[in-house]
């Protein structure tokens, strides 16, 4: 996430003296049905995902237990589950669904999602969108 992301030094994590931390998934490439054009309705295409989250809880409270942290494995599985539901018209829709899924974990304060279609234009490496969403508790 960008350097200008607001600090979340208030709330339970700050009260415990533990700083928030970031969880990320970089350059995850999956295939899925996405797009508004007729040929995209039944022709899977490569989609790249980048997801960055700011978690309120701190790493020092993890106690070496996966249940105590926001899991990047859950993020990847969640994206796969969203794609498995079937065709999505817009990358914007998919990005919003991923953001909502991530914010469903109450520890997540900020999420940035980038969704890129990799094979649309020969002249471009990718096209897509990037969104940033904040939890209601983090505002």
Cα distance between residue 99 and residue 54, in whole Å = 12
Bridge partners (DSSP) listed for residue 29: 48
**Region label for 64, one of left (φ > 0), alpha (ψ between -120 and 50) or beta (otherwise):** left
For residue range 44-82, list pLDDT tens digits in order: 999 999 999 999 876 777 788 888 889 999 999 999 999
Q: Where are the domains of the chain?
A: 12-134
The pLDDT of residue 61:
72
First vs last C-alpha separation in the chain: 17
Give residue 72's pLDDT: 96
Q: What's the pLDDT score for residue 111?
A: 98
pLDDT band of residue 13 (cuts 50, 70, 90) is: very low
Q: Estimate the crossing angle of helix 72-84 against helix 91-103, to 10 degrees.
A: 140
Cα dihedral: 69, 73, 78, 81 (round 10): -150
pTM of the predicted structure, to 2 decimals: 0.84
What is the model's pLDDT at position 19?
A: 79
Mention the CATH class of domain 12-134: alpha beta
Check: CB of residue 29 under 8 Å from CB of residue 47.
Answer: yes
Cβ 51 vs Cβ 24: under 8 Å: yes
pLDDT digits (tens, 9 = 90+) for 99-113: 999 999 999 999 999
Residue 34: per-residue pLDDT: 97
Q: How many CA atoms lie within 13 A of 22 on its CB side?
A: 14
| pLDDT of 41 higher than 50 | yes
């Amino acid at each position: 996430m960008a350097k200008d992301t607001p600090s979340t030094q208030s709330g339970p994590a700050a009260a415990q003296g533990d700083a928030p931390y970031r969880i990320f998934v970089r350059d995850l490439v999956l295939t899925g049905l996405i797009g508004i054009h007729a040929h995209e309705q039944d022709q899977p295409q490569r989609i790249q995902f980048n997801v960055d989250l700011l978690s309120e809880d701190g790493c020092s409270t993890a106690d070496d237990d996966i249940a105590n942290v926001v899991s990047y494995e859950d993020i990847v599985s969640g994206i796969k589950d969203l794609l498995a539901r079937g065709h999505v018209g817009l990358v914007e829709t998919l990005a919003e669904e991923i953001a909502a899924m991530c914010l469903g974990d109450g520890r997540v304060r900020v999420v940035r999602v980038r969704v890129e279609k990799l094979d649309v234009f020969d002249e471009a490496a990718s096209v897509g969108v990037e969104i940033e969403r904040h939890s209601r508790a983090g505002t």
